[in-house]
Amino acid sequence: MAVPGASRAAVATGASLAVAAASVVVAVAAAGPAAAAQVCDQPPVADTVQAAVPWSQQAWDPAAQVWPFSTGAGVTVAVLDTGVQTSNPQLAGRVAGGVDLVSGGTADVDCVPHGSGLAGVVVAGQQAGVGLRGLAPDATVLPVQVAQAAVGEPGTTPVDPGVMAAGLDAAVAGGAQVVLVGPVVFRDDPQLADAVQRTLDAGVVVVAGVGDGHEADRDGEGPTAALATPYPAAYPGVLGVAAVGSDGLRADTSQIGDYVDLAAPGAEVVSTGTAAQQVYDGTAFAAAFVAAAAALVVAEPGLVPSGADRPAAVQARLAATAVPPPSPAGYGAGLLSPGRAVTEDLAAAPPRQDPGYQAPPVDEAAVAAARAAEDAADRSALWALAAGAVAVLAVLTALLLPRARRRRWRTGRAAPTAVEPEPAGHIPSAALFEPPR
């Protein structure tokens, strides 16, 4: 990806990269509303209003199980992606002034949209007629644009690792306690690795999707081919997140490898778009739920330490309180459980044992009713066959009885016909052709 103008300077290495990113953040903040906003080459994908409560909210019941304990207040979550559409009503007032490292200016326009969906998973506010709410609704999103399009599969144009590295430094300079990285880079890069380490050393939690490049024909039950190793998820200390569907099972394309630490909803995820809502898929959205859960944990006093020990402590808490996975491959420690993450006292007692993924309970009454209906259907079929046989017999009887009466109940074989004697002197025709004897 080309990095025009001032963004090229942000791809420097080491400390100079961090200084460049920080200076960009300061310059944008100073420029305020007058800073240039990105202009979309093409209109974004159209939104539709989603009135139903998303399945992840129904499963977690955050109003009863999470928000009485933590709403993420006071925590800033940096979203490194395609920008965030701050004009969306559910995001208004919940997004800080960010930075666009791709084309310069602010990151308050999302031309895809994609970053807006990640932000909505974290902080979407309540809106009449819409079921969606962010998991950490009182947190603040800091948008840092590092890509112009949603990327997450091997073979797509990846984000420049140097730009992503600059984005991490910008997030730290902007005061983020949690960083959500949306795009995936499918190669190890020294600049990116160094930036990740600097971010962790600053006490900032880094969360990233593990990529959507798993191919069943190629990879089977895993692990995903090494050529698809996802970064930054594969770096030590980064929370790598896999995607599951509403059945709790891994999404088909969610990658499998030792870089998977947790699993979270990543299929048919309802979140904010340009003006209303859209439905998204991918491990980036699963990572957004984990980033929101990290914000919930950081916001609640006493759950995790501050400073350089915080990223590891947050990861340990989320892993210890996860629901055990339905299978060992592709889920990491298990399925994210934000309610348990903000309520369980891990110091006083080990985490509550959870039975893990359970198949839906069997309704014995329904099974018995179905069996009875099947038996009744079998009996009905037999009765129908019997009735048909009786009907055929009645027809045959109606046809044959009058004939039998006409024959006076004799068998149907006709009596032999009497042969009349040949007249005297008659010579059979066959004899005319016989030679004389």
Q: How confident is the model at residue 408 (pLDDT cuts 50, 70, 90)?
A: low
Nearest to 263 by CA among 248, 280, 253: 248
Q: What is the pLDDT of residue 322?
A: 96
Q: What is the pLDDT of residue 115?
A: 96
All residues at 6 or more sequence positions from 202 whose CB lies less than 8 Å from its CB, including other chains: 172, 308
- Number of folded domains that form the chain: 2
CB 95 within 8 A of CB 127: no
Checking if the pLDDT of 2 tops 50, the result is: no
- Determine which of 36-40, 93-97, 182-186 has the lowest per-residue pLDDT on average: 36-40
409 found inside a domain: no
Flag whether 162 is in a domain: yes
Same domain, 123 and 192: yes
258-302 pLDDT, tens digit per residue, is 999 999 999 999 999 999 999 999 999 999 999 999 999 999 999
387, 301: one domain: no
pLDDT at residue 180 greater than cutoff 60: yes
pLDDT in tens, 215-260: 988 989 889 998 889 999 999 999 999 999 999 999 999 999 999 9
CB 118 within 8 A of CB 81: yes
Determine what percent of the chain is predicted with pLDDT higher than 90. Answer: 61
Mean pLDDT check: name the lowest of 26-40, 108-122, 166-180, 255-269. Answer: 26-40
Residue range 77-82: mean pLDDT, rounded:
97
Q: Share the mean pLDDT of the chain.
A: 83
Other CB atoms within 10 Å distance of the CB of residue 176: 28
Q: What's the half-sphere exposure (Cβ side, CA atoms, 13 Å) at 167? A: 35
**Beta-carbon neighbour count of residue 69 at 10 Å?**
16
Residues 6+ apart with CB under 8 A from 20: 9, 10, 12, 166, 169
The yes-or-no verdict on residue 365 having pLDDT over 80 is no
| Whether 385 and 286 share a structural domain | no
What one-letter code names the amino acid at 404? A
Domain annotation covers residue 70: yes
- For residue 96, count other CB atoms closer than 10 A to its CB: 18
Same domain, 200 and 71: yes
pLDDT reported for residue 375:
75
Are 291 and 396 in the same domain?
no
Predicted confidence at residue 129, as pLDDT, reads: 96
**54 and 156 together in one domain:** yes
Predicted confidence at residue 31, as pLDDT, reads 40
Q: What is the CATH number of the domain that holds 143?
A: 3.40.50.200
Its sign, for the CA torsion 66, 72, 78, 81, is positive
Confidence of residue 306 (pLDDT cuts 50, 70, 90): very high
With 60 as the cut, is the pLDDT of residue 360 above it? no
- Both 335 and 372 in one domain: the answer is no
Both 236 and 383 in a single domain? no
pLDDT given at position 156: 61
Co-location of 98 and 24 in the same domain: yes
Do 319 and 396 lie in a common domain? no
pLDDT(114) > 90:
yes
Task: Give the tokens for residue 287.
Answer: 């990572």
263 within domain boundaries:
yes
pLDDT band at residue 37, thresholds of 50, 70 and 90? low
- Average confidence (pLDDT) over 326-340: 94
**CB of 296 closer than 8 Å to CB of 318:** no
In a domain, 431, yes or no: no
Q: Quote the CA–CA distance of 62 and 338 in Å, as a whole number.
A: 8
Exposed / middle / buried, residue 329 (Cβ in 10 Å: 0-12, 13-18, 19+): middle
pTM of this structure: 0.75
Residue 353 domain-assigned?
no
Question: Which residues lie below 8 Å from residue 422, measured CB to CB, with a gap of 6+?
Answer: none
Closest CA to 232 of 297, 152, 346: 152
Range of the domain at 283: 6-341
Query: Is position 433 within any domain?
Result: no
Q: 169 and 245 share a domain?
A: yes
* Pair (294, 387) in one structural domain: no
DSSP string covering 285-330: HHHHHHHHHHHHHHHSTTSS--GGGHHHHHHHHHHHTSBPPSSSSS
Q: Could you tell me which residues come within 8 angstroms of residue 279 by beta carbon, excluding any fewer than 6 positions away? A: 50, 268, 269, 270
Would you state the pLDDT for residue 222?
86
Handedness of CA 297, 202, 283, 103 (dihedral sign): positive
